[in-house]
Amino acid sequence: MSDSRPIGIFDSGMGGLTAVKEVIRALPYERIVYFGDTARVPYGPKSRETVIRFSIENILFLLKYKVKLIIIACNTASSVALSIARKNFKVPIIGVISPGVDEAVRVTKNKRIGVIGTRTTINSQTYEKMIKQQSPKIKVYSAECPLFVPLVEVGWLNTQITKQVAGLYLLPLKSKKIDTIVLGCTHYPLLKPVIKEILGQGVTLVDSARQVAMQAKEILIRQRLLAPKKNRGEGNLRFYVSDEPDNFAELGKRFLGFDLKNVRKVSNV
Ligand code: DGL
Protein backbone atom coordinates (compact mmCIF):
# COMPACT_ATOMS: atom_id res chain seq x y z
CA MET A 1 0.00 0.00 0.00
CA SER A 2 1.20 3.54 -0.68
CA ASP A 3 -0.05 7.05 -0.10
CA SER A 4 0.85 9.98 -2.34
CA ARG A 5 -0.50 12.70 -0.04
CA PRO A 6 2.17 15.23 0.96
CA ILE A 7 3.98 15.70 4.27
CA GLY A 8 3.28 19.12 5.84
CA ILE A 9 6.10 20.98 7.55
CA PHE A 10 6.00 24.38 9.20
CA ASP A 11 8.23 26.86 10.99
CA SER A 12 8.04 30.55 11.82
CA GLY A 13 10.32 31.24 8.86
CA MET A 14 13.24 29.63 7.09
CA GLY A 15 14.55 27.51 9.99
CA GLY A 16 12.38 24.51 9.20
CA LEU A 17 14.13 24.17 5.86
CA THR A 18 16.94 22.41 7.77
CA ALA A 19 14.36 19.68 8.47
CA VAL A 20 13.08 19.77 4.87
CA LYS A 21 16.60 19.04 3.63
CA GLU A 22 16.84 15.92 5.77
CA VAL A 23 13.33 14.77 4.90
CA ILE A 24 14.20 15.01 1.21
CA ARG A 25 17.30 12.90 1.89
CA ALA A 26 15.51 10.28 3.97
CA LEU A 27 12.29 10.19 1.94
CA PRO A 28 13.11 11.18 -1.64
CA TYR A 29 9.74 10.22 -3.12
CA GLU A 30 7.59 12.19 -0.74
CA ARG A 31 5.76 15.37 -1.69
CA ILE A 32 6.28 18.19 0.79
CA VAL A 33 4.19 21.27 1.53
CA TYR A 34 6.17 23.75 3.62
CA PHE A 35 4.76 26.78 5.36
CA GLY A 36 7.04 29.53 6.67
CA ASP A 37 5.17 32.06 8.75
CA THR A 38 7.44 34.88 7.64
CA ALA A 39 4.91 37.62 8.39
CA ARG A 40 4.95 36.68 12.08
CA VAL A 41 8.55 35.53 12.60
CA PRO A 42 10.10 35.47 15.17
CA TYR A 43 8.03 33.23 17.42
CA GLY A 44 10.79 33.06 20.03
CA PRO A 45 9.98 36.23 22.00
CA LYS A 46 6.20 35.73 21.81
CA SER A 47 3.99 34.36 24.55
CA ARG A 48 3.04 30.71 24.88
CA GLU A 49 -0.61 31.50 24.05
CA THR A 50 0.35 33.35 20.87
CA VAL A 51 2.68 30.61 19.68
CA ILE A 52 -0.02 27.99 20.33
CA ARG A 53 -2.54 30.02 18.34
CA PHE A 54 -0.14 30.48 15.42
CA SER A 55 0.71 26.78 15.48
CA ILE A 56 -2.94 25.71 15.32
CA GLU A 57 -3.53 28.13 12.43
CA ASN A 58 -0.50 26.75 10.60
CA ILE A 59 -1.72 23.19 11.05
CA LEU A 60 -5.17 24.13 9.74
CA PHE A 61 -3.48 25.70 6.72
CA LEU A 62 -1.44 22.56 6.00
CA LEU A 63 -4.50 20.35 6.39
CA LYS A 64 -6.04 22.11 3.38
CA TYR A 65 -3.41 20.27 1.34
CA LYS A 66 -4.56 16.91 2.74
CA VAL A 67 -1.22 16.24 4.39
CA LYS A 68 -0.71 12.76 5.84
CA LEU A 69 1.84 13.78 8.50
CA ILE A 70 2.82 17.11 10.01
CA ILE A 71 6.28 18.04 11.23
CA ILE A 72 6.44 21.05 13.53
CA ALA A 73 9.93 22.07 12.42
CA CYS A 74 10.15 24.77 15.05
CA ASN A 75 11.41 24.20 18.57
CA THR A 76 9.47 27.14 19.95
CA ALA A 77 6.18 25.78 18.60
CA SER A 78 7.10 22.18 19.50
CA SER A 79 7.90 23.16 23.08
CA VAL A 80 4.54 24.78 23.77
CA ALA A 81 2.06 23.48 21.17
CA LEU A 82 2.90 19.87 20.30
CA SER A 83 0.83 18.12 22.95
CA ILE A 84 -2.16 20.43 22.41
CA ALA A 85 -1.93 19.92 18.66
CA ARG A 86 -1.82 16.15 19.07
CA LYS A 87 -4.93 16.22 21.22
CA ASN A 88 -6.84 18.30 18.69
CA PHE A 89 -5.95 16.74 15.34
CA LYS A 90 -6.13 13.18 14.03
CA VAL A 91 -3.21 13.51 11.64
CA PRO A 92 0.12 12.26 13.08
CA ILE A 93 2.16 15.25 14.29
CA ILE A 94 5.81 15.22 15.29
CA GLY A 95 7.98 17.92 16.80
CA VAL A 96 11.70 18.55 16.86
CA ILE A 97 12.43 18.37 20.58
CA SER A 98 12.39 14.68 21.47
CA PRO A 99 14.66 13.68 18.54
CA GLY A 100 17.25 16.24 19.72
CA VAL A 101 16.95 15.09 23.33
CA ASP A 102 17.47 11.43 22.37
CA GLU A 103 20.57 12.27 20.38
CA ALA A 104 22.10 14.53 23.05
CA VAL A 105 21.59 11.94 25.79
CA ARG A 106 23.14 9.32 23.51
CA VAL A 107 26.29 11.32 22.67
CA THR A 108 27.22 13.05 25.95
CA LYS A 109 30.08 11.38 27.76
CA ASN A 110 30.64 13.75 30.68
CA LYS A 111 26.87 14.20 31.28
CA ARG A 112 27.00 17.98 30.86
CA ILE A 113 24.72 19.22 28.07
CA GLY A 114 24.16 22.78 26.87
CA VAL A 115 20.86 23.79 25.27
CA ILE A 116 20.41 26.95 23.24
CA GLY A 117 17.11 28.19 21.87
CA THR A 118 14.66 31.03 21.73
CA ARG A 119 13.31 32.66 24.86
CA THR A 120 10.01 30.76 24.76
CA THR A 121 11.77 27.42 24.22
CA ILE A 122 14.22 28.00 27.06
CA ASN A 123 11.53 29.36 29.40
CA SER A 124 9.35 26.33 28.74
CA GLN A 125 12.19 24.13 30.16
CA THR A 126 10.97 21.37 27.86
CA TYR A 127 14.48 20.27 26.91
CA GLU A 128 15.67 20.22 30.48
CA LYS A 129 12.67 18.20 31.66
CA MET A 130 12.93 15.69 28.85
CA ILE A 131 16.68 15.20 29.26
CA LYS A 132 16.27 14.71 33.02
CA GLN A 133 13.44 12.23 32.42
CA GLN A 134 15.82 10.08 30.40
CA SER A 135 18.84 10.53 32.64
CA PRO A 136 18.38 12.44 35.92
CA LYS A 137 22.13 12.69 36.50
CA ILE A 138 22.78 14.82 33.45
CA LYS A 139 23.46 18.48 34.15
CA VAL A 140 21.72 20.82 31.71
CA TYR A 141 22.84 24.39 31.08
CA SER A 142 20.47 26.48 28.98
CA ALA A 143 20.81 29.84 27.27
CA GLU A 144 18.47 31.89 25.16
CA CYS A 145 20.00 33.41 22.04
CA PRO A 146 17.41 35.93 20.85
CA LEU A 147 19.58 37.56 18.19
CA PHE A 148 20.42 34.35 16.34
CA VAL A 149 17.10 34.07 14.48
CA PRO A 150 17.17 37.62 13.04
CA LEU A 151 20.83 37.15 12.06
CA VAL A 152 19.95 33.99 10.15
CA GLU A 153 16.82 35.51 8.59
CA VAL A 154 18.93 38.32 7.09
CA GLY A 155 21.62 35.89 6.00
CA TRP A 156 24.41 37.08 8.35
CA LEU A 157 25.75 33.62 8.93
CA ASN A 158 29.45 34.24 9.36
CA THR A 159 29.99 37.95 9.91
CA GLN A 160 32.07 39.61 12.60
CA ILE A 161 28.92 40.76 14.38
CA THR A 162 27.51 37.23 14.34
CA LYS A 163 30.73 35.94 15.92
CA GLN A 164 30.63 38.60 18.64
CA VAL A 165 27.00 37.87 19.45
CA ALA A 166 27.69 34.13 19.49
CA GLY A 167 30.62 34.68 21.84
CA LEU A 168 28.42 36.53 24.30
CA TYR A 169 25.84 33.76 24.30
CA LEU A 170 28.13 30.73 24.20
CA LEU A 171 31.21 31.49 26.30
CA PRO A 172 29.28 31.20 29.59
CA LEU A 173 28.15 27.72 28.47
CA LYS A 174 31.67 26.76 27.46
CA SER A 175 32.87 27.60 30.96
CA LYS A 176 30.42 24.96 32.29
CA LYS A 177 32.54 22.29 30.55
CA ILE A 178 29.71 20.92 28.45
CA ASP A 179 30.68 18.25 25.90
CA THR A 180 27.41 18.42 23.93
CA ILE A 181 25.18 21.27 22.85
CA VAL A 182 21.66 20.99 21.48
CA LEU A 183 20.88 23.53 18.79
CA GLY A 184 17.35 23.96 20.09
CA CYS A 185 16.13 26.12 17.23
CA THR A 186 15.86 25.06 13.62
CA HIS A 187 17.56 28.27 12.49
CA TYR A 188 20.76 27.52 14.36
CA PRO A 189 22.29 24.79 12.19
CA LEU A 190 23.09 27.59 9.72
CA LEU A 191 25.38 29.05 12.37
CA LYS A 192 27.26 25.80 12.98
CA PRO A 193 30.65 27.06 11.73
CA VAL A 194 30.54 30.05 14.11
CA ILE A 195 29.23 27.98 17.03
CA LYS A 196 31.95 25.36 16.46
CA GLU A 197 34.62 28.01 16.31
CA ILE A 198 33.59 29.37 19.70
CA LEU A 199 32.96 26.10 21.51
CA GLY A 200 35.90 24.21 20.00
CA GLN A 201 36.30 20.62 18.78
CA GLY A 202 35.54 19.03 22.15
CA VAL A 203 31.84 19.94 22.00
CA THR A 204 29.43 17.91 19.84
CA LEU A 205 26.68 19.91 18.13
CA VAL A 206 23.30 18.18 18.04
CA ASP A 207 20.60 19.33 15.68
CA SER A 208 17.40 17.42 15.41
CA ALA A 209 16.80 17.74 11.66
CA ARG A 210 18.24 14.33 10.74
CA GLN A 211 16.54 12.59 13.67
CA VAL A 212 13.18 14.13 12.93
CA ALA A 213 13.39 12.96 9.32
CA MET A 214 14.14 9.42 10.50
CA GLN A 215 11.20 9.58 12.91
CA ALA A 216 8.94 10.71 10.05
CA LYS A 217 10.16 7.78 7.96
CA GLU A 218 9.47 5.30 10.74
CA ILE A 219 5.90 6.57 11.15
CA LEU A 220 5.21 6.42 7.43
CA ILE A 221 6.55 2.88 7.23
CA ARG A 222 4.64 1.76 10.31
CA GLN A 223 1.37 3.29 9.17
CA ARG A 224 1.90 2.20 5.54
CA LEU A 225 1.82 5.77 4.32
CA LEU A 226 4.97 5.88 2.17
CA ALA A 227 4.61 7.52 -1.23
CA PRO A 228 4.82 5.39 -4.35
CA LYS A 229 8.36 5.34 -5.71
CA LYS A 230 7.48 6.98 -9.00
CA ASN A 231 6.48 10.18 -7.27
CA ARG A 232 9.56 12.26 -8.18
CA GLY A 233 9.91 15.73 -9.69
CA GLU A 234 9.97 19.42 -8.92
CA GLY A 235 6.28 19.54 -8.08
CA ASN A 236 7.17 17.44 -5.04
CA LEU A 237 8.16 20.55 -3.14
CA ARG A 238 5.85 23.46 -2.51
CA PHE A 239 6.65 26.41 -0.32
CA TYR A 240 4.15 28.85 1.12
CA VAL A 241 5.00 31.95 3.12
CA SER A 242 2.88 34.58 4.82
CA ASP A 243 5.04 37.50 3.63
CA GLU A 244 6.88 38.35 0.45
CA PRO A 245 8.42 35.27 -1.17
CA ASP A 246 11.61 36.65 -2.78
CA ASN A 247 13.77 36.85 0.33
CA PHE A 248 12.59 33.41 1.36
CA ALA A 249 13.49 31.94 -2.03
CA GLU A 250 16.90 33.59 -2.04
CA LEU A 251 17.91 32.60 1.48
CA GLY A 252 16.18 29.25 1.19
CA LYS A 253 18.73 28.33 -1.44
CA ARG A 254 21.41 28.56 1.25
CA PHE A 255 19.50 26.18 3.47
CA LEU A 256 18.68 23.64 0.80
CA GLY A 257 21.50 24.05 -1.69
CA PHE A 258 19.20 24.35 -4.71
CA ASP A 259 16.84 26.91 -6.23
CA LEU A 260 13.43 27.05 -4.62
CA LYS A 261 10.72 27.03 -7.24
CA ASN A 262 7.07 27.30 -6.24
CA VAL A 263 7.38 29.81 -3.38
CA ARG A 264 4.01 31.47 -2.98
CA LYS A 265 2.62 34.05 -0.64
CA VAL A 266 -0.62 33.23 1.13
CA SER A 267 -2.64 35.71 3.12
CA ASN A 268 -5.30 33.50 4.64
CA VAL A 269 -3.39 32.04 7.58
N1 DGL B 1 13.07 28.23 14.15
C2 DGL B 1 12.22 28.32 15.26
C3 DGL B 1 12.65 27.43 16.39
O4 DGL B 1 13.11 26.35 16.10
C5 DGL B 1 11.69 29.64 15.69
C6 DGL B 1 12.54 30.81 15.68
C7 DGL B 1 11.71 32.05 15.95
O8 DGL B 1 10.78 32.29 15.19
O9 DGL B 1 11.99 32.76 16.91
O10 DGL B 1 12.51 27.74 17.54
Give the domain CATH number at 148.
3.40.50.1860
Using an 8 Å Cβ cutoff, are 114 and 171 in contact?
no
Three-state secondary structure call for residue 238: strand
> Which residue in 164, 166, 168, 176 sits closest to 114, CA to CA?
176
Query: Does 82 share its domain with 103?
Result: no
Number of domains in the chain: 2
Q: Which of 62, 185, 213, 216 is catalytic?
A: 185
- Is residue 135 one of the residues assigned to a domain? yes
- Is residue 224 one of the residues assigned to a domain? yes
Query: Does 131 share its domain with 75?
Result: no
Using an 8 Å Cβ cutoff, are 30 and 55 in contact?
no
Last residue within a domain, chosen from 185, 208, 231: 208
Q: Which of 23, 51, 62, 74 is catalytic?
A: 74
Across 67-88, b (16+ Cβ under 10 Å) vs e yields bbbbbbbbbbbbbbbbeebeee
| Residue 145 designated active-site | no
Last residue within a domain, chosen from 208, 226, 249: 208
Residue numbers of the domain that contains 64: 7-95+210-265
Query: Does 117 share its domain with 41?
Result: no
Say whether pLDDT at 86 is over 70. Answer: yes
Angle at 42 between CA 83 and CA 61, to 5 degrees: 55
- Is residue 2 one of the residues assigned to a domain? no
Query: Does 32 share its domain with 60?
Result: yes
Query: pLDDT tens across 36-77, in order?
Result: 999 999 999 999 999 999 999 999 999 999 999 999 999 999
Query: Does 254 share its domain with 237?
Result: yes
Whether ligand 1 lies within 6 angstroms of the CB of 42 is answered as yes
Residue 146, amino acid: P
Whether ligand 1 lies within 6 angstroms of the CB of 9 is answered as no
Say whether pLDDT at 233 is over 80. Answer: no
- The pLDDT of residue 23: 96
- Is residue 238 one of the residues assigned to a domain? yes
- Is residue 227 one of the residues assigned to a domain? yes
